[in-house]
Structure 1
Amino acid sequence: MTTTGAHQDAAGTVARGWWWWGRRRSAVLDVGLAVVSALECAAEGVGSAQSAGVPVPVGVLFGLVAGSALVVRRRWPIAVVLVSIAITPAEMGYLMGFVGLYTLAASEVPRRIIAALAGMSLAAVFIVTFVRVRQDITAAELDASSWYVPLMSVILSLGLNAPPVLFGLYIGARRRLMESLRERADSLEQELSLLADRAEQRAQMARTEERTRIAREMHDVVAHRVSLMVVHAAALQAVALKDPQKAVRNAALVGDMGRQALTELREMLGVLRAGEDERPPAPRAPVAAPVPLAAVGRAAASAASAASAAASVPEDGPCLDEVEELVEQSRQAGMVVELRVMGEARTYAPDVEQTAYRVVQEALTNVHKHAAGAEVVVRLAHRGDEVAMQVENGPSDGAAADAGLPSGGNGLVGMRERVTALGGVFVSGATDEGGFRVSAVLPVSPAA
């Protein structure tokens, strides 16, 4: 056979190839049933032709043509049932009527059409049976009761029509249920795939945020400590021959700052290693096809590992109490710094205190880099529901030697990211006097 593309049968499914059959065995089944039905109708056509007084070959040929209509039962079930009803008066096509009613009831044909055709078939079988049984009783000269003929007609008509219709309705309902469950399973698989993609995106975002946070921490530590070390090293070089004692003090300060920078870097690297150790190991080789739910689990585990790495930040980081020590380090490097604290000092959440400390630290680092010899005022204000900090420097002293510190251009960006991440406000810009001002306000809730 040649294929004619895709067709939609009465059951509502799309069939491809083999004309309207979806599979080869369906075609073989229908052709086999059509052959059996044609032979049955041909055999029954002999008696019908003799009763009607027509040539027997005509009755046989009519039976073959009518019975072979069963081959199109999947494509046109209504036509098959109508043919079976039409040949019922000739007392042929019982197999066609049985199979046709089953196919019709199991298809997607509207219920009212199924009921109408089933009623027509029931009425046709009842009438033919009623007439045939009455003729047989009369010919046999039997004295049957008045209820015998109607009862036999009802039993035979129901026996030939009710079972296929009821079984077809059951199979159709079961088929629709299976299709509905299959659609729901496909929809659930798509949803799980979407959830897996979203979880993977969240995990990627968490990893990106963690890398950004670590980069900010390392920038703050390296930029400030190393900047001070470079300034002290320059001062050490300048006074090494003139004032040996001051040179010794500067050398000690450089050593202390180097050790502090190494300690903070070691802590952050420890956090990174801990985050890598907590990640689940990747599977060596897949043993089965990937399941969307497993993808969701892997993505969620990845996000959880990134979150755990972020949560493993040391609690004993820098705080506001260390701002005075920070200012003193800048003073020892030769910077004129004034610290002004307003309001009653309190203890805040660790992330708030660390952010406030880093803002002051980065602002002082920028002064070391870009405004050598400038006077600096550090203001720290404790208010009711917020803490504010401001670092303002005047114009740089032209006579002061420039330390030649490189700038990556990320200091202000990192400060802004830190402050906005906590819902605060960050403002920076040049002053009218030729200096620079960095201001930040953080919403706070006092720590218990």
Structure 2
Amino acid sequence: MTTTGAHQDTAGMRARGPWWWERRRSAVLDGGLAFVSALECGLEGISFARAAGVPVPLGVVFGLLTGSVLLVRRRWPFAVVLVSIAVTSAEMGYLMSLVGLYTLAASEAPRRVIGSLAGMSLVGTFIVTFVRTRQNVADTGVDVHQWYVPMVSVVMAAGLTAPPVLLGMYVGARRRLMESLRERADSLEQELSLLADRAEQRAEWARTEERTRIAREMHDVVAHRVSLMVVHAAALQAVALKDPPKAVKNAALVGDMGRQALTELREMLGVLRSGESVAARQAGRAGGAVEAVPLAAVGLAAASAAAAAAAAGEGPGMADIEALVGQSRETGMVVELSVLGESRAYPRVVEQTAYRVVQEALTNVLKHAAGAKVVVRLAHREAEVAMQVENGPSDGGAQDAGLPSGGNGLVGMRERVTALGGVFVSGETDAGGFRVSAVLPDRGAAA
């Protein structure tokens, strides 16, 4: 519940009237109407008592009690109308009849009940008016047309019955319409609140996904290059004095790998900067909150920019896998590359994913199974491309290069492959090595 709604509810509770009245001013209005109706019926009770031959005080008291019934018009409108019909023959309670019919027509009573009571009031008023008008004409001796008495009776009965009933039906329909609109507005407000909550959840999910994607890209770019640089640096340290030409070659390799790592990092940072500028322009056009730009909007825009960069042909692809294998060989690893099937054009995202899977698998071998023989298999099939990197047991048992590992390599590969609708499997082999396999649909990413 909003603060405004809470204030409104509090104010409504303060203004609530006694008994069945929802508001105090409604109780004051009904009390005033009942007072006026009691005075009217009390004055009319004088003539009724004289005509009926009863004591005048008794007629006045009867009129006061009868007119006071109007006080309960909101709670029991049927009772008010029935009492007004009952005293019609006594020629009293005109105000009570008008207000009672209006209240009954504006209530939630069934239409057939309203029509029946209104018809009874109409007939009663017509009969009393017909009799009284005919007596007046006879007493005065005025010569009038034969249609005069019925016409006057019809006009009086309709004038005292139809207007309050029609007005009450109009007010009741308008009240129900307003309540329906109010309920619809409340429902829309609740739906908007739910949509806002879901939008916040989607924004949080987008931020989480974007952080994961950036972490995966950084891991793939940095881990492989830096791992190779560490291995070459260790070899450089070992042969610096014994074999200067080889040391120079290793130093050149370290420099090349460092430059390649910086180039890939620069491309990634450029994608992020372009995504941030696009998100800022979109937020400026939409007039949105500025603080949302570096979180959700930048993440989505960066993802879009990354996809655009992939479509534009930036980043490594399957054509670079042979060079990747060559770099691993230069560290002293024994790597065999096997390609089956005829190579063809794939969506850029598929090619990058295939490259990253092979890259990360070779990095893991370099970290955890130094000296082990590695077989890289790449198969171009009819509607998919498959890759497999398998290494045997390392020389002298499971050696470790001493490189740090965060345990995110396999997770990142699985996320990349499954995001394109592919299949990823990894695990130890019977020979004591390790195998990483992935299958990617050649058109899944484009769809």
TM-score, L = length of structure 2: 0.90
> Residues of 1 paired with 2:397 and 2:288: CA distance?
64
Tell whether the 8 Å contact from 2:384 to 2:439 is kept in structure 1 after alignment: yes
What is the match of residue 363 of structure 2? 365
Of structures 1 and 2, the one scoring higher in RCO (CA 8 A, sep 6+) is 1
> Residues of 2 paired with 1:340 and 1:367: CA distance?
18
> Residues of 1 paired with 2:386 and 2:80: CA distance?
88
Tell whether the 8 Å contact from 2:378 to 2:387 is kept in structure 1 after alignment: yes
2:432 counterpart of 1:434: yes
Q: Which whole-Å deviations, capped at 9, do the CAs of 1:177-200 have from their partners, x for residues lacking one?
A: 111111111112222222222222
Tell whether the 8 Å contact from 1:203 to 1:300 is kept in structure 2 after alignment: no
* 1:104 Cα offset (Å): 0.4
Percent sequence identity over aligned pairs: 75
Q: 1:109 to 1:401 in 2, by over 3 A?
A: closer
Q: 1:33 to 1:404 in 2, by over 3 A?
A: same
What is the match of residue 6 of structure 2? none
* 1:279 Cα offset (Å): 4.0
The letter of the residue matching 2:299 is A
* 1:233 Cα offset (Å): 0.7
- Secondary structure of residue in 2 paired with 1:20: coil
Tell whether the 8 Å contact from 2:328 to 2:335 is kept in structure 1 after alignment: yes
Q: Which whole-Å deviations, capped at 9, do the CAs of 1:265-297 have from their partners, x for residues lacking one?
A: 2322333344444445999xxxxxxxxxx999x
What is the match of residue 10 of structure 2? none
> Residues of 1 paired with 2:400 and 2:183: CA distance?
72
Unaligned runs of 5+ in 2: 1-14
2:310 counterpart of 1:312: no
- Secondary structure of residue in 1 paired with 2:259: helix
Tell whether the 8 Å contact from 2:386 to 2:437 is kept in structure 1 after alignment: yes
What is the match of residue 240 of structure 1? 240
Tell whether the 8 Å contact from 1:279 to 1:302 is kept in structure 2 after alignment: no
What is the match of residue 7 of structure 1? none
Q: 1:308 to 1:173 in 2, by over 3 A?
A: same
Q: 1:19 to 1:348 in 2, by over 3 A?
A: same
- Secondary structure of residue in 1 paired with 2:439: strand
Matches within 5 A, 1:330-345: 330-345=328-343
What is the match of residue 191 of structure 1? 191
> What is the number of equivalent residue pairs in this alignment?
424
> Residues of 1 paired with 2:191 and 2:61: CA distance?
58
> Residues of 2 paired with 1:27 and 1:139: CA distance?
45
What is the match of residue 407 of structure 1? 405
The letter of the residue matching 1:177 is L
2:162 counterpart of 1:123: no
> Residues of 2 paired with 1:378 and 1:170: CA distance?
84
Tell whether the 8 Å contact from 1:373 to 1:400 is kept in structure 2 after alignment: no
> Residues of 1 paired with 2:83 and 2:292: CA distance?
61
Tell whether the 8 Å contact from 1:426 to 1:440 is kept in structure 2 after alignment: yes
* 1:143 Cα offset (Å): 2.8
1:323 maps to which of 318, 321, 324: 321
- Secondary structure of residue in 2 paired with 1:312: helix
> Residues of 2 paired with 1:63 and 1:301: CA distance?
79
The letter of the residue matching 1:374 is A
Q: 1:280 to 1:18 in 2, by over 3 A?
A: farther
2:348 maps to which of 350, 370, 390: 350
Tell whether the 8 Å contact from 1:203 to 1:299 is kept in structure 2 after alignment: no
* 1:400 Cα offset (Å): 9.8
> Residues of 2 paired with 1:49 and 1:307: CA distance?
89
What is the match of residue 42 of structure 2? 42
> Residues of 2 paired with 1:138 and 1:253: CA distance?
132
What is the match of residue 24 of structure 2? 24
What is the match of residue 70 of structure 2? 70
Q: Which whole-Å deviations, capped at 9, do the CAs of 1:44-80 have from their partners, x for residues lacking one?
A: 1111111111111111111111111111111111111
Tell whether the 8 Å contact from 1:196 to 1:299 is kept in structure 2 after alignment: no
Q: 1:359 to 1:182 in 2, by over 3 A?
A: same
Query: Pairwise CA RMSD of aligned residues?
Result: 2.5
> Residues of 1 paired with 2:204 and 2:264: CA distance?
26
* 1:408 Cα offset (Å): 1.2
* 1:16 Cα offset (Å): 4.2
Q: Which whole-Å deviations, capped at 9, do the CAs of 1:357-406 have from their partners, x for residues lacking one?
A: 00000000000011110111111111111000011111101289742112
> Residues of 1 paired with 2:367 and 2:419: CA distance?
26
What is the match of residue 80 of structure 2? 80
> Residues of 1 paired with 2:140 and 2:273: CA distance?
104
Unaligned runs of 5+ in 1: 1-14, 284-293
Tell whether the 8 Å contact from 2:17 to 2:27 is kept in structure 1 after alignment: no
Q: Which whole-Å deviations, capped at 9, do the CAs of 1:105-125 have from their partners, x for residues lacking one?
A: 001011111011101111111
Q: 1:227 to 1:193 in 2, by over 3 A?
A: same
